[in-house]
Amino acid sequence: MKQSSIRPHSIAARLPFSPPFLPLVMTLVDKGAQGFGATGPAAGGLVLATEELFSFYVQQAAKGSAVEIELEDQGYRLALSLIFRVANPDLRALNLTWRCSLDNEDALAMLGPMLAARSVSSLRLEFGADEQVALRMTRDRDYPQAAPVPLPPADLAGPLRLLDPSREDLRHFAAMAVTAGSEFLPGFLARPDMAAAMLAVGHVSALLVEQGNWIRGGVLWRPLTDACLELYGPYLFGDDPGDQGLRLLLDEAVGRISRSAFRGLVRRQGAFAGSERFFDFLGELPLRGPGGINRCTCYYRQLKEESGGTVYCAEPLATFLGAQYDRLCLPRQIRPSSGDPARLRDSSVLAVELEYGRSLAVIRPLCAGRDMTANLAAHLELLRGEGIANFLVELNTGRSEDTAFAASLAETGFVPRLVIPDGGQGDLVIYDHPAAGARA
C-alpha cells in the first residue's frame, strides 16, 4: 500500500495496526489537533473517534498489517483519515439507526464505532484494492451562532457598487443574512466566523454589493466537486427595484466563474425572476413545512463543453438517467451494471445530514450491503419519529457503492427527480420521498 503524501498543514504516520500502538496514535491526533489550534470539543471529538475506531477495527485486521493516519488543518475544520486493510469490516454501528442494547454483548461491542460516528461532523467511506478501507472524517471548529445586526434602512438611496469582501465584511454579511431571515441559507452562513474562516482558506468565494455605507446583499460560491461549483444567493436586504442588485451580483459572479476551470454551476434554492438569463432549469423539489409546500428550484449552467462519460447502473435508475441525459444533452453512455448481490458486504451504511429548520434529512450512501432496503426503511422510521417531514437522497453515479442502492430506493418509495451534472464523482441524482411526511 502506498504511503500517503503529506500536504501542507498536515501530519501523517504509518504504524503497525496492533493494540500497543493505540496510545501513540491517540497522542498523534491529540497533539496534532492542538498544534493546529483546535481545543475543546473539536479536538476531543477526533481523539474519541480515533480511539474507538482503532480499538474496534484492529480486532478485525490481519496480523502484521499497517494503519495510516493523516490529520489535516483545513482552516475552519480538521480532517482525519484512518486507512487500513480489513476483509468485510463490520460497519453497522456507523449508521444513525444503530442502537446498543445492554442485554446484547454483540451490540455492546459496537458501542465504540457508534460513538465515533456521532463525535465527528462528517464521515465518508472509501474502498480500495486488497481490502483497503479508508475512514475519512471531519470535525468543524467551534463557532457561535450569528447575533442580530442592523439591516439597511428602507429609504437608502444612491448607486450600487460591487465589493470583494474581506473576512470582516463576509462575517458581517453572514450576520445580516441570518438577521434578515433569508431563505435557503447554507449552514456555514449561520456561523459568521465559520464563513469568514472558509473565505480565508479559499473554500468559499464571495461578492457583495454596497449602497452608501451599507452592505445591500451578496452571493457566494464554492466547489461541490472538482468539476462543479454551487452558488448560494444572491441574498438581498430590502427592496431591489428592477432586480438591479441581483443582476449586478450575478453578472459579475457568473463572469468570474466562467473563467475558472469548472465545467458547471448549480444553484439549489428558490425560483427567481430572470433565471433563464443565467441558468437552465433542472427541476423542483417540494419541501413540506408548517406554512405548506416550499419549492426548492434547481438551476444549472454549463460552463465548459462536456467530455462525455459512462455510467454503470441497473433499472429503474437507467431509464431515468437516459431521459435526463437526453433532455440536458449530456453525452453519457449508460451500461448495465454487473453488480453481483453475492459480493455485497453484510451491512450497508448511510450518512444523514439534518436541517431542522427545513425539517429535512439529506441521506447519502456510504457503503452498499445486503440490508440496503431494510436500512433505508429503518432510517425513514427513525427520522419520521423525530418529526422530520422531508427526505432527499443524493446518489453518485460514479460510485458503485451508491448505484447499488437504486433498486432499494425504489422499493422504499424514493423517486428520482433530477440530475446535477458532475455533482459527484460522476453525476448526482437527487431522490425525494413523496410520502415522506406520512408515517408507515
What's the CATH number where 18 sits? 3.30.565.10
52: its cell numbers: 474507538
The Cβ of residue 159 has, within 10 Å, a number of other Cβ atoms equal to 8
Residue 237 belongs to some domain of the structure: yes
Check pLDDT > 70 for residue 30. yes
Round to whole Å and give the CA distance between 150 and 287. 30
> What range defines the domain where residue 36 resides?
10-140
Specify whether 340 is located in the same domain as 399: yes
- Name the pLDDT band for 379 (thresholds 50, 70, 90): very high
**Would residue 122 count as lying in a domain?**
yes
Residues 216 and 267 in one domain: yes
| Domains identified in the chain, total number | 3
Calculate Rg over the CA atoms of the chain: 23
Q: Which pLDDT score is estimated for 8?
A: 60
pLDDT over 90 (residue 317): yes
Cell, residue 326: 437526453
Shared domain check, 175 and 269 = yes
Specify the CATH number for the domain of residue 264.
3.40.630.30
175 in the same domain as 134: no
> Do residues 121 and 181 both lie within one domain?
no
Instruction: Report the distance separating Cα 251 and Cα 234, nearest Å.
Output: 11
- Picking from 259, 281, 302, the residue at the C-terminal end of a domain is 302
| Beta strand segments in 314-406, E | 332-336, 349-355, 360-367, 390-396
The reply to whether 2 falls in a domain is no
Instruction: Report if residue 167 sits inside a domain.
Output: yes
Cβ contacts of residue 437 below 8 Å, gap of 6+? 288, 389, 390
pLDDT at residue 308, rounded to an integer: 82
First to last CA, the chain: 46
Burial class (CB in 10 A: 0-12, 13-18, 19+), 155: exposed
Same domain, 192 and 266: yes
* Runs of H (alpha helix) within 259-387: 317-328, 372-385
More confident residue, 5 or 11: 11
Whether residue 7 is predicted with pLDDT greater than 60 in this model: the reply is no
Question: Do 276 and 331 belong together in one domain?
Answer: no
DSSP codes joined into one string, 406-435: HHHHHHTT-EEEEEETTSSSS-EEEEE-TT
Res 392: pLDDT = 97
* Beta carbons within 10 angstroms of residue 148's beta carbon: 10
Same domain, 208 and 232: yes
By percentage, how much of the chain surpasses pLDDT 70?
96
Is pLDDT of 5 > 60?
Answer: no
The pLDDT value recorded for residue 6 is 46
206 and 282 both lie in a single domain: yes
Lateral strand order in the sheet of 122-127: 10-16, 66-73, 77-85, 132-140, 122-127
Which residue, 267, 302, 337, sits at the end of a domain? Answer: 302
The answer to whether residues 179 and 295 belong to one domain is yes
Would 152 be classed as within a structural domain?
no
Same domain flag for 79 and 107: yes
What pLDDT was estimated at residue 1?
Answer: 32
Higher pLDDT, 151 or 183: 151
301 Cβ neighbours under 8 A, 6+ residues apart: 254, 264, 265, 278, 279, 280
Q: Is 110 domain-assigned?
A: yes
420/299 Cα distance (integer angstroms): 9
Mean pLDDT of 45-59: 96
Tens of pLDDT, residue by residue over 72-97, are 999 999 999 999 999 889 999 999 99
Mean local confidence (pLDDT), 329-335: 93
For the cut 60, the answer to whether the pLDDT of residue 436 exceeds it is: no
Question: Cβ atoms within 10 A of the Cβ of 371, count?
Answer: 18
236 and 342 housed in the same domain: no
| Angle, vertex CA 296, rays to CA 291 and CA 297, nearest 5 | 135
Does residue 329 form part of some domain?
yes
Asked whether residue 4 is assigned to any structural domain, the reply reads no
> Which of the listed residues 302, 330, 359 is the one where a domain comes to its end?
302
Edge-to-edge order in the sheet of strand 160-163 = 160-163, 205-211, 214-223, 228-236, 264-269, 292-302, 280-289
Q: What is the pLDDT of residues 99-139, one digit of tens each?
A: 877 777 777 788 999 999 999 999 999 998 888 999 999 99
Lowest mean pLDDT among 1-5, 145-149, 197-201, 284-288: 1-5
